[in-house]
């Protein structure tokens, strides 16, 4: 990263494969209501979880390049699969700070667990990347049990977050983790907080649920403060802009309204295309 200081009045750029990262965007806005933000959901190519890591890397860098071209002062990778695939590249590639969702969540889970048995659920790509395993390996006293939950993202993107079918899927994925005696469960995908009710019903009230939205927002606040990049007073009304790569932007708006209570006036459509990756 170069020593050039970004413009503190510029927006924060938040990126996810779909609507899940809106949980992170909302948490950032709740904590930093004076900040402007650009949110991009790659809805044309969601879900990222089943895709080869090389494809996820290419898609993520394409979106992140676009956010940097729009002049953001910080990049927030609000997607676990993309964080695992591209974090090192992003921090070397861009002259703005990069915050991701994995590190803050691991630190929170490690501080919460009482019996040192932590469960992790995520997409196939996130689990296979072993990004969480690598960070938890620095805390050898903690036993980590992981499970891929590929159908969860599809359910959320379809707006299906409760009911018998959702409970059945949650039971199938989570019962083996509960049998391991976990007392803390990491929701390793930004879509999963939408399923918190179904997850809670399966794991019971004694298992702490740790999601990336609040922890990532805390990290954003900390980094902006340390780098003196908080938006200065008198910078005008903050702007919240939403962009999506999929054709059906109306579905994006409806999901945001129904599942997060976010009123979005408009979503700009982004075209996707190939980018040249660094060697």
Around Cβ 44, how many Cβ atoms within 10 Å?
Answer: 17
Catalytic annotation present for 189: yes
- C-alpha distances (whole Å) from 105 to each of 217, 219, 242, 275 are 11, 10, 25, 30
* Residue 73 backbone phi and psi in degrees, to 5: -95, -10
- Bond into 47 cis (ω within 30): yes
Catalytic annotation present for 149: no
**Annotated binding-site members for substrate:** 16-17, 48-49, 80-81, 190-191
Cβ-proximal residues to 276 (8 Å cutoff; 6+ apart), any chain: none
| Catalytic residue, candidates 79, 147, 229, 253 | 79
Measured distance CA(145)–CA(271) in Å, rounded? 39
| Catalytic residue, candidates 127, 144, 189, 217 | 189
Where would I find the H helices in 102-261?
Answer: 102-112, 124-129, 131-136, 150-157, 164-179, 196-203, 212-226, 249-260
Catalytic residues: 79, 189
């Amino acid at each position: 990263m170069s020593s050039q200081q970004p413009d503190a009045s510029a927006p924060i750029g938040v990126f996810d494969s779909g609507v899940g990262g809106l949980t992170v965007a909302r948490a950032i806005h709740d904590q930093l209501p004076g900040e402007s933000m650009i949110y991009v959901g790659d809805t044309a190519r969601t879900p990222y979880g089943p895709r080869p890591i090389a494809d996820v890397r290419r898609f993520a860098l394409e979106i992140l390049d676009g956010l940097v071209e729009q002049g953001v002062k910080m990049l927030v990778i609000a997607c676990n699969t993309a964080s695992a695939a591209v974090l090192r590249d992003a921090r070397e590639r861009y002259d703005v700070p990069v915050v991701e969702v994995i590190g803050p969540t691991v630190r929170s889970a490690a501080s919460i667990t009482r019996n040192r048995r932590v469960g992790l659920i995520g997409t196939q790509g996130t689990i296979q990347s072993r990004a969480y395993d690598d960070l938890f390996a620095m805390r050898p006293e903690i036993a980590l049990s992981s499970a891929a939950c590929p159908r969860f993202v599809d359910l959320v993107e379809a707006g299906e977050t409760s009911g018998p079918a959702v409970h059945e899927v949650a039971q199938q994925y989570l019962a083996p983790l509960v049998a391991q005696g976990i007392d803390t469960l990491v929701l390793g995908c930004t879509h999963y907080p939408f399923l918190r009710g179904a997850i809670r019903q399966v794991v019971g009230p004694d298992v702490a649920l740790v999601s990336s939205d609040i922890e990532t927002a805390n990290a954003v606040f900390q980094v902006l403060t340390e780098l003196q990049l908080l938006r200065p007073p008198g910078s005008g009304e903050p702007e919240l802009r939403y962009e999506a790569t999929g054709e059906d932007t109306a579905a994006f708006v409806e999901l945001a309204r129904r599942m997060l209570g976010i009123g979005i006036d408009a979503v700009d459509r982004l075209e996707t295309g190939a980018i040249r990756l660094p060697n």
